[in-house]
Structure 1
């Protein structure tokens, strides 16, 4: 018997976020949900999706000359949010059970894409890119100083984009990177 209850996904599958199975992780579900999920809890100046953020993180990893494995990790670093949504950072750090669920789910997703063997150093690179992108997003989309001094290799497109377009780019990016690994 599975732990917890299931959610119904875009592809009409049942998915148990508290008890994830690698074989149930689905690219279409991740791409669709992340393209519909707004960053910053909806506080940016316009809709900017988690999928757009993740695509930009993958581009940043590529621009830094990092491996395809790290590029894929950057693309999928928030993929758990497709199944459990997101909680803002100040609150999330207080929710130990949520953090455990998120970690278990993220590990299953990384395993599904054969990147579950990332080193601590590689995971730190992904985290640094995520934080640098957040900093850039806050400056551009909130007209606010970022939270850190991390910089990016270039400026990225943070404009509003239609969800279907972003979903398709997310899927194409996964497929292109996987072919190179």
Structure 2
């Protein structure tokens, strides 16, 4: 086996640093993110990146944003399924990692019809991501990370959920929004 590859849940030999669009599978993304704990596990209970992504999607729906932005919210951390989740303070000091992440995330967006997201769309995703993050850390760690509480329209689900149920919810929400090319 090529030492520069990982083997994904669906048995794809995947090179995170030289990824091919055809190797990106939603089943791999949903499965990996549903088993990946936010905040490196430094929270009250298991809360996955997939559950975070579902909360971001719900906020985009509540804001009546386009189906495209909703799908972008669901997939905004999809590169972490292949690269792992690294906390923001560490990620900021790893410029090469950020480069790999940006390239892979762009490829994932392209794979699922989101290559043409506008700057405004990206800003909406980032705003929602920050809003959900604030609520997560407030609820799961009793910590406020921003001076001002970002406004959310929805109420995020921050309760402990079985990973398989989150994985299935992720896949179901994806199927509703993704129109194959």
Instruction: State if a TM-score over 0.5 links the two structures.
Output: yes
Q: What is residue 170 of structure 1 aligned with on the other side?
A: 170
> Which 5+ residue runs of structure 1 have no aligned equivalent?
none
Q: Deviations over 1:50-75 (max 9, x none)?
A: 00000010010010010000000000
The alignment of Structure 1 onto Structure 2 pairs a total of residues equal to: 179
Deviating beyond 4 angstroms after TM superposition, the runs of 4 or more aligned structure 1 residues are none
1:37 aligned counterpart, secondary structure: coil
Q: What is residue 158 of structure 2 aligned with on the other side?
A: 158
Q: Distance in 1 between matches of 2:128 and 2:145?
A: 14
CA positional deviation for 1:20: 1.0
Q: What is residue 91 of structure 1 aligned with on the other side?
A: 90
CA positional deviation for 1:177: 1.2
Q: Distance in 2 between matches of 1:61 and 1:141?
A: 22
TM-score with structure 2 length normalisation? 0.95
Stretch of structure 1 that moved more, 138-147 or 108-117: 138-147
Q: What is residue 59 of structure 1 aligned with on the other side?
A: 58
> Which 5+ residue runs of structure 2 have no aligned equivalent?
none
Q: Distance in 1 between matches of 2:90 and 2:51?
A: 23
Q: What is residue 78 of structure 1 aligned with on the other side?
A: 77
Report 1:1-181 matches (<5 A). 5-147=4-146, 148-179=148-179
Tell whether the 8 Å contact from 1:136 to 1:146 is kept in structure 2 after alignment: no
CA positional deviation for 1:154: 2.5
Q: Distance in 2 between matches of 1:166 and 1:132?
A: 20
1:145 aligned counterpart, secondary structure: coil
Tell whether the 8 Å contact from 1:34 to 1:79 is kept in structure 2 after alignment: yes
Q: Distance in 2 between matches of 1:63 and 1:177?
A: 15
TM-score with structure 1 length normalisation? 0.95
